[in-house]
Amino acid sequence: MLASYTEQIDQALTDCLAEFTTPAELYQPVQYLFEAGGKRVRPIICLLACEAGGGNPANAMSAAIAVELLHTFTLMHDDIMDRSPMRRGRPTVHVKYNENTAILSGDVMIGMAMRMLERSAELAPQPIRVIQAFTTGLIEVCEGQSMDMTFMERHDVTVDEYFTMIDKKTAKLLEMSAAIGVLIAGGSDAHLHHLTTFMREIGIAFQMQDDLLDLAGSPAFGKAPGGDLLEGKRTWMVLRMRDLCQMPSAQTGHRTLIESFFAKNGLVPDQVPAMTAALTEIGVLAEAEQKIRSITEEAFQHLYQLPASPAREALATLAHRLMSRTN
Amino acid sequence: MLASYTEQIDQALTDCLAEFTTPAELYQPVQYLFEAGGKRVRPIICLLACEAGGGNPANAMSAAIAVELLHTFTLMHDDIMDRSPMRRGRPTVHVKYNENTAILSGDVMIGMAMRMLERSAELAPQPIRVIQAFTTGLIEVCEGQSMDMTFMERHDVTVDEYFTMIDKKTAKLLEMSAAIGVLIAGGSDAHLHHLTTFMREIGIAFQMQDDLLDLAGSPAFGKAPGGDLLEGKRTWMVLRMRDLCQMPSAQTGHRTLIESFFAKNGLVPDQVPAMTAALTEIGVLAEAEQKIRSITEEAFQHLYQLPASPAREALATLAHRLMSRTN
């Protein structure tokens, strides 16, 4: 089911991109970024949520493309802001073309997304609710990115603020994809609640796990272990370690390490093994794993409030796959 | 009527901005740009179009704020792309804050605009048509900006391409503002056609006139005469002069000037008086004035297809004011 949906989504995406070709300077970078592929997680969620909500997934196909366009817009603009040189194994749009192009092609992708969304919204019992869910996603993802950027200049980010940030930056677009699917189906409020909560919690667990996996690096993608530690990224782990190191019982070595992380906005490569060891010794890694497990379990409790169906099982499979990535 | 509408719009804008405050790093730049004022032309058009279409303008107030937000988003992003240091007498957002902030605060303004638009769209007989008009505006304005940027690298821009560019970059947002107003009113297709054509043609005439006025400069705003000539901007006047200079009868001096303009992507200040004289001698200025007049007249013919009403007269006043600016 997932493989067949991915194929249909890729076809619909190709059809959509063929509608937007002139001026080439504006639309080629969009094409370029999509050519690099992607797992199409958000459009799959949208289609499955529609189906699980009792709707015809074909009605949600344009909306599925819309959520992928919105997600890809965030990648294009975030890459400028984060000065990222590579994305999906190729130069980022602002590097391959230039920054102005990446700004403007990102902007028009919001318009393309809305154009696609309208087509599915028209088939929904309450079209405006579909648009509202999309708007919420757009606003929240900008707020999340803003918080993420500001965190880099702060030493006092709280664990709560971290959760708010990943909720907005990562989880809300997954939640939005589910909400749009259910709303196109005209599913019940209970359906909407359980499916969006499921996706949102999976999104939070996924982001925490992503941060955890970064410690091991990903040699296949040329990522060194502890990349986030080198960049000074405020992950749950360093925030938790900072809090634990404020206790009188904390080891001086640990305290020195975490203070150095905040003071210099990141570690040097030589400090990474000691930091990984410290995170293990203080129990932060075990605690993170435990947190990820409990959030994931709570998420599934929401999913299993829905009546059994092939779409529900496919959503479970998708979530398990997301959570069992090892790089 | 216009003054009272402007006041109501400014109040609604203040109320809207008060809804979006956290994170401050994201929303303060939006506030900052709005504080500098603005003529609120597009929201006024939206309210008057609703009223002229037989609707209650109060229903269009949120949409009026939406069109102003969309317009202001284009200013924030265009200023980054054009490297503009000043806007409305103050440093631009990317100068006052930084480029990342200007990108992200611009992005969220699209979301804010949609949030406002939804509120008026819900009151329209066909909500999705309101959203569609907005989406068209967003897509076209990005296409227009893309064309404008590409023109700077080309010597062979045609007069037709110039008209397509200003249509998309300037006229479409005025057209959109009118369309949204009529659609909220549930006006007839004839109303929609005449009002949108009126605003679009006024937009084109306005942009041509803006290019013409640039020749005289605007000392009050610190703008030197012929700023567009110095920047190498492809206006109708230089494109027309280039075409006329290809005739065998063209004067060598004129030909040298226009070739220098394209070869060096702009003139040096010393060349501006000669260029202004050349544009007068060849008759390009007179031709431009004639074109602006005839487009404006055609626009008004569409406006006067509508039944007489205070809103129609206010739209006429607004258009006359736009066209009688002298700087």
Domain containing residue A213: CATH number? 1.10.600.10
- Give pLDDT, residue B1: 78
Distance CA B209, CA B293 (A): 10
- Give pLDDT, residue B225: 86
- Give pLDDT, residue A326: 66
Rounded to the nearest angstrom, the minimum Cα separation between A142 and chain B is: 6
pLDDT in tens, B15-64: 999 999 999 999 999 999 999 989 999 999 999 999 999 999 999 999 99
pLDDT in tens, B239-289: 999 999 999 999 999 999 999 999 999 999 999 999 999 999 999 999 999
Percentage with pLDDT > 90 across chain A: 93
The partner residues of B90 in beta bridges, in order of sequence, read B87
| pLDDT bracket for residue B218 (50, 70, 90) | confident
- Give pLDDT, residue B186: 98
Q: Is residue A36 scored above 80 in pLDDT? A: yes
The chain A residue lying nearest B147, using CA atoms, is: A23
- Give pLDDT, residue A149: 96
| pLDDT, average across residues A221-230 | 84
Answer whether A28 touches B (CB < 8 Å): no
Which residues in A lie closer than 8 A to residue B146 (C-beta atoms)?
23, 25-26, 104, 108
Domain that holds residue A170: 2-323
Rounded to the nearest angstrom, the minimum Cα separation between A250 and chain B is: 33
| pLDDT bracket for residue B326 (50, 70, 90) | low
Q: Is the peptide bond before B225 cis (omega within 30 degrees of 0)?
A: no
Which residues in A lie closer than 8 A to residue B134 (C-beta atoms)?
114
**Predicted model pTM:** 0.97
Contact B100 A80 (CB under 8 A): yes
- Give pLDDT, residue A218: 73
Long-range contacts of A260-265 (CB under 8 A, 24+ apart): A261/A229, A261/A232, A262/A155, A262/A232, A264/A232, A265/A152, A265/A232
Beta-carbon contacts of B282 under 8 Å, excluding residues fewer than 6 positions away, are B241, B244, B245, B250, B254
Q: Is the dihedral of CA B27, A178, A228, A208 positive or negative?
A: positive
- Give pLDDT, residue B222: 65
| pLDDT, average across residues A274-288 | 96
- Give pLDDT, residue A224: 79
Give the total number of structural domains in chain A: 1
Question: Reduced to 3 states, what is the DSSP secondary structure of residue A228?
Answer: helix
Answer whether B142 touches A (CB < 8 Å): yes
Beta-carbon contacts of B13 under 8 Å, excluding residues fewer than 6 positions away, are B34, B65, B68
- Give pLDDT, residue A2: 87
